[in-house]
Chains A and B, each alone.
Chain A
Amino acid sequence: MTSIDQNATEFIAEAQEIIETFSRTLLELEAQSRGSGPEPDLINAAFRAIHSLKGLAGLFGASAIGGLSHSLENTLDSLRLGKLDLSRPVLDVLFEAIEVFGRLLAPQGEEGGGSEVDTEPVLTRLRQLGEREAESAGPQDSLEWVGENILSVLTEYEEHRLRENIKAGRNLYRVHAKFDIMQIDVGLEQLKDKMKGYGEVITYLPSADGSSDDAIELDILLGSKGTLGEINGALANPDVAVHRLTPAAEAPPPVPSTGRLAPLPSAAKPAPPVMSEGPSRRAEPPPRASGPTTSRTVVTTTEEPDPAVVASSEASLRSLSQTVRVDLRRLDLLMNLVGELGLVQANLTGVLDELRQLDHSADVSRELRVQIRDMHRKLALLQQGILDVRMVPIGQVFDKLARVVRKLSRDLDKEIRLVISGAETVLDKLIVEELSDPLMHMIRNCIDHGIEPAVERVALDKLPGGKIELRAFQKGNRVVIEVEDDGRGMDWMRIRDVAVRRNLLNAEEAVSLTPGEAVNLIFQPGFSTRDSATEVSGRGVGMDIVKTNIARLSGMIDVTTDLGRGTTFSITLPVTLAIIQALVIQSAGHTFCIPLNSVLESIMVETREIGTVEGHEVITLGGRTLPLLQLSRLFGLRPLNKNYRDPNRLYVVVVGLAQHRVGLVVDELLGQQDVVIKPLGSAVRNVPGIAGATELGANRTVLLLDVGRLVDEGVRQSDVAYNLGGGHVR
């Protein structure tokens, strides 16, 4: 059973990957279709993605997916052949297909399952697109001047592109290039990249007799607006020669008429007149022998229907063989093992210390110390290596969100522009996975409540279309993700009033509330209920859940809003959860870890510096009032009566984000350590203030504090005083 299961999961993973690529390409195409027009390469990429999906589905007998990808492939083929325009309705159907794929893959418990999903509607729509195909073939211009030898080997698609290029008034060039046989993939790719800046590569043709044993010569058909001089300058390379092809009506080209793509004369001789500009001169002429290499290239190029495939198939083949899909749980296992090895190492160090007490073993202990230090270094490298493997770009989630934005903006008939930056920022795979739901929530809220309808926006002197910015960037050892909209913002006074109505705070407390504090009330459980979501001008669907989810990832969420201008949510996350740096502290004889990324500073405070505000202890730090929280009291721990420290001095660990800070009063600071975080089981996962557990040597389990939660408690304690009836534990 396992092999089938494994096949199924592999299939799903691979299919999902292809569909994600496809979706990303479509989004890009959509953007282009509004601007300069779709890039043929992208349509090709989409076509290829679906083509491989079809093949994959056939391999695994997933007939529904195979059928859909087959129809989709036809539509995309029409698109790339210009038989169909990439219009909005076409895009809609394509996006719909993505959703259907998603559903087909989702419930796939059994092999080839997911059969309850009805693919018929989308298939019908795809067929209708096919019927709509423009039969606007019309009289075609003669292309004879290009040379029959070229025309005869062009595929339908290539010919279409050739005509498109001529229609666009581009010049046609034949670029003759020679590559070392060992490096043709690299060289061709480089050349192609260079040429792309100037125009479109229409096809590659093998040069009839221009090949030797260790070199391959190709003719590349390039459509470009540039002049011969420009192209020649751009491709400056002794192994490349450029010729311009012109219709017979104009200057008759000397080259294309000379039969099968005139081989260039042996290059050491002076360049013939066509190779006008200087730099294109070939180096040593290799001995000629049109042996097997030539025929091989001929086969490749003529049978391959798609020009881009020639070059990129090599690239993709390589990446396939170098990529390994790994179950995240296996990495967790490795991570745990590394963590345990770290403990073994700590124990070894302990043994070493004992050994050193014994005089006669000085040599042995010195050797042992060297070895342990070496092991420590290697362990650190190993740990880093495993961590790196877990890192994925956050763009994966952003792509999904782009689809959500697209769908919602159409559903709600609001035009939304999504601006994404920092998609390449890497985060632990686990975090990226867990982020998609909260971010989805937030984006939904942005579109649903934040962005005003177009009419309203125009009246406010805003652009009719709304804008949502999604940013990710690294900041120290944290990653910040921001979601910003230019909608109506949130009215803090209305939020405050709703909070009072919901008994989250009483009238007196409300009076003393600052705008910033009021806005943060949206994260309160109990603030967001269904009716308030429609009633309050701002947002409110499950922001408390969003906050809880973020906190579970050791992250914090913050909101700033400008009434009438928009709202920005900012999420701060650790780069990874698997291993973090922690500050180890002690309170009432219990040891805890605090994630170092939320520690601002640790200070020593004299008891006389402590003041009280409404019965709550505070200190003044940097000109601001900092509420103090006694960790032992917070956790109901009985303080030890040990006088191991000066009773007049307290250790205070300042934790939190910029405007929400509290000082945790602890007994001891024990130092910093890299710790491997382990999840608590479901029974204790929801203990407020506790985020996880870790091992600290000698099989000692230590709890990790949920700083976000403690900061909340601290801020609320001092600002709103107590008796928030609604603050019940989730």
Chain B
Amino acid sequence: MSGEREDLWQALLRSGEVVVTDEDYEHGYKREVRQDLQQYVTFRVSGEVYGLAIHEIEEISKVFQTTHVPRTADFLLGIGNVRGRIMPVIDLARRLRLRPAERGRAARVLIVHFNDEPYGLVVDEVMDVIRIPPEAMEDKPGGLTGTRAEYIRALGRNGKDLVIILHLPALLDAKDFVKVTVYEEGRS
């Protein structure tokens, strides 16, 4: 991948103001970050490259055990527990209606924050942290149609590669989680 490649840790360091390094002391805490350069974490789901704004991601965790929740949509793997916090864990491949790939050792759970609640998104592999200037963003996925369009916020151009930036509110819409038909099935 071309463009600014950076180590994930470095990027996380830079995005948050909580971590202080030696450099900070030297430069008197005055490290400027270009405000309009949004940072994105990119990851692979069923062979395609997706991205989420870095501030939406709270933590990247190894895949952990989940508990199946009956009467929910199939993309919900279940609920998981990370240090005492209960969160729904979503199989992103199923959510995006892609063919699920074999989940290997590289699989990770992106813990995202939405409406003050944590959610886990299982991806095949976390790749990079990239910066995309606003001018390289295509707000409307113009030519792109189909069932997945609603989950896409924008298309980002990272060099010559395209990154599909996901739209969390659509992805985590609460009404999709509960299987509506289950109530009638349960009674028959």
Contact = CB atoms under 8 A, between A and B. Distances in A.
Interface of A: 336, 339-340, 590, 633-637, 678-684, 686-690, 693, 695, 699-703, 713, 716-717, 722, 727-729
Contact of A695 (B81, B118, B174, B184): B81
Nearest to B87: A681
B182 to A, nearest CB: 7
A683 B70 contact: no
Interface residues of B, number: 32
Interface in B161-183: 172, 174, 177-178, 180, 182-183
B30 interface: no
Contacts of B117: 681-683
Nearest to B186: A634
B72 interface: yes
Contact of A716 (B118, B187, B188): B187
Which of A590, A634, A716 gathers the greatest number of chain B CB atoms within 10 Å? A634
Given A680-B79, A722-B184, A703 B69 contact: yes
A701 B67 contact: yes
B143 interface: no
Given A633-B186, A690-B71, A683 B81 contact: no
B76 interface: yes
Nearest to A679: B86
B86 A700 contact: no
B147 interface: no
Given A678-B86, A680-B86, A686 B174 contact: yes
Which of B172, B178, B186 gathers the greatest number of chain A CB atoms within 10 Å? B186
B86 A636 contact: no
B88 A681 contact: yes
B160 to A, nearest CB: 37
Contacts of A722: 184, 187-188
Contacts of B61: none
18 contacts: A635-B70, A635-B186, A636-B182, A678-B86, A680-B88, A681-B117, A682-B115, A684-B69, A684-B88, A686-B178, A687-B69, A689-B186, A699-B65, A700-B65, A701-B65, A713-B186, A713-B187, A729-B182
Contacts of A687: 69-72, 177-178
B92 to A, nearest CB: 14
A683 B121 CA distance: 13
Nearest to B182: A636
A701 B71 contact: no
Which of A336, A637, A681, A693 gathers the greatest number of chain B CB atoms within 10 Å? A681
B71 A635 contact: yes
Contacts of B178: 684, 686-688, 729
B108 to A, nearest CB: 18
Given A681-B87, A686-B174, A687-B178, A728 B67 contact: no
A340 B83 CA distance: 9
A336 B84 contact: yes
B185 interface: yes
B67 A729 contact: no
B140 interface: no
Nearest to B83: A340
